[in-house]
Chains A and B, each alone.
Chain A
Amino acid sequence: MNALDRLRDPSDRTLAVLMLAPAFLLLALIVVYPIGRLLWNSFFDLRLSGGGEARFIGFENYLLVLTDKDFWNATRNTVLITLITVPGALVVGLALALLANLPFRRQWPVRLALLLPWALPLAFAGLIFAWFFHSEYGVVNDLARRLGGSAPRMWLLEPAFAFAAICLTIIWKTSSFMALILLAGLQMIPKSLYEAAEVDGASRWQQFWQITIPMLMPSIIVALIFRTITALQTFDIPYTMTKGGPGNATETLAMLIHKTTIDYLDVGYGSTLAVFMFLLSLVVTGFYLRRIGRNA
């Protein structure tokens, strides 16, 4: 075989390497190298604004992070948002999936109603819901007034209420993704299981807990993993709704990293914050992966 032939019809092994090369080059540039760079940077005093040279400072950034009130506040907010919105989106998403799984004559309006929130950019959801929660002209206070006549809330100006508004927005935005995944899982459960249960005299409630939930478990776990990973990265919704305020009551870790690095150009310290966030998500995914390992 001459060289030209080989070029035109390469062996499987060569072809495989060539075909995988672009993907791995991109991963190297955008994921692997940045992770290495991140660790490297975290040991330096590296500020792009001052124009000074990078100075090696060992673990100083790490010690600084541990005593940084803003870091602990942002971590607390991030963990709270995750703990509230992941189960919240699961419950709402499951309810939506069960409703959407009823036998409708026309499927598309229901399916589109699940797809639209999924496809809507998070930043837009933040903007729209900021308008919903507007203290004077928002529809939320209007509804509350019509239903119960309660005094209007300054939703985005009181820390606890701003936090609640953000969690509600995230749950609305992410529950439709949950519902889509769970709906696919629901449709794979054989009808015969329910028929058999009916013959045995099982109630709807028993069928739900004995058949639906166990059969849905694989879908639930997949949805939970991806939702948790994205919840830890929460940025868009609080950024567009409150900019982290009032004060820093709704500032997340992602927002703190963004502020430190992009606004203040403090790359060294920002990197160290990112390393901590990295560890946090590692702990969480590790927890999930262990659970999956045990279930499998």
Chain B
Amino acid sequence: MRQPDNLFSARALRLIAAAIVVVNGFFPAVWILLTSLKTEAELVRKPITWLPHELVLNNYVQAFTDQPLLKYLGNSLVVALVSTAVSLVVAALAAYAIARLNLRHRQLVLTCIVASSMFPLVTLLVPIFETMRHLSLLNTYTALVLPYTVLSLPVCTLVLVSFFQSIPKDLENAAMIDGCTRLGALWRVVVPLAAPGVFTAGILAFVNAWDEFLLALSLNASASMRTLPVGISLYQGEFTFPWPVISAALVVAIVPIAVLIALFQERVVGGLTQGGLKG
């Protein structure tokens, strides 16, 4: 229905639209990258410069030496990976039972698991802190892995239930006729076929754990146990704010997650819309 002379303007409109979305999404990260490459002297120049006049990498060196950034990175990785693995195992078991087994009240069971994400984590902070303190788990990986697993349980279960339901039951039955036990069939047939779903749920769980701040700040406050968000928020002194160094640390912390979502965009979007969770 479009007129030929509209073609150009339609294309221009699309480009403007793309530019708005891309600038909105990327500008903060790009600005931090630019800041991390500026010298301290350039940073306090007025009026401020947008592009660095000379590129320096010194801020990155300082980011690693001023604070144990590598340690923070390691802590975040361990906590995120372990809690992702545990969430996936726990959620996969529950999702299989809900999707496949002869279970009464399956809807109620699923609702119970999903409803747990409705409780504000902040209100549970006090008793979780108390429990971890009693169990002498403050400043350990376990103190974060347990709540993070629960944090991701609803979305992982939702994504996996819909994946399990999409796998034909006959495949499993065939395996069982061929002599597999029910669990054997689950392990050899269902899990490989559900791999894309497991992967999607895994990314969502990883991002949840990688981003969490309040529990990490409250439960693992000691320097050697801090995760990235907590560690980086503590670069500021009482009166000082070493922006170039903070920016460098932020770039180091943002790159892994940015690469992860860039590589697996479609999976992440699919998982988000299936699970429809978390802001």
Contact = CB atoms under 8 A, between A and B. Distances in A.
Top 6 nearest A-B pairs (CB, nearest first) are A113-B25, A34-B127, A184-B273, A37-B127, A123-B229, A121-B211
B103 A285 contact: no
Given A19-B101, A123-B232, A235-B213, 13 more contacts: A9-B182, A26-B153, A30-B128, A35-B124, A100-B21, A109-B18, A111-B269, A112-B265, A119-B257, A120-B211, A176-B25, A178-B279, A262-B125
7 contacts: A35-B127, A99-B20, A119-B257, A122-B211, A226-B277, A262-B217, A262-B218
B195 interface: no
B7 to A, nearest CB: 13
A26 B90 contact: yes
B166 interface: no
A34 B253 contact: no
* Interface size band for B: 35 or more
A124 B22 contact: no
Contact of B119 (A8, A31, A176, A223): A31
B234 to A, nearest CB: 10
Contacts of A227: 279
Contacts of B183: 8-9, 15
Which one of B113, B126, B246, B250 has the greatest number of beta carbons of chain A within 10 Å?
B126
A102 B120 contact: no
Interface string A9-51: 1101101100110111011011101110110010000001000
Given A176-B25, A267-B130, A120 B254 contact: yes
A216 interface: no
Contacts of A177: 272, 278-279
B123 interface: yes
A31 B116 contact: yes
Interface string B119-147: 11111111111110100000000000011
Contact of B233 (A13, A102, A120, A127): A127
Interface stretch (A62-70, A128-136, A159-167, A200-208): A128-136
Interface stretch (B44-52, B53-61, B66-74): B44-52
A176 B27 CA distance: 13
B246 A127 contact: yes
A227 B17 CA distance: 25
B92 to A, nearest CB: 9
Interface of B: 1, 13-14, 17-18, 20-22, 24-26, 28-29, 31-32, 35, 43-44, 46-48, 50, 89-91, 93-94, 96-98, 101-103, 109, 112-113, 116, 118-131, 133, 146-147, 149-150, 153, 157, 181-183, 207, 210-214, 217-218, 228-230, 232-233, 243, 246-247, 250, 253-254, 257-258, 260-262, 265, 268-269, 272-273, 276-279
Contact of A119 (B90, B149, B261): B261
Interface residues of A, number: 100
Contact of B122 (A117, A120, A235): A235
A236 B21 CA distance: 25
Given A37-B130, A121-B210, A258-B125, A281 B102 contact: no
Given A12-B102, A109-B18, A121 B123 contact: no
Contacts of B123: 38, 257, 274-275, 277-278, 281
B241 to A, nearest CB: 8
Contact of A116 (B26, B90, B96, B122): B26
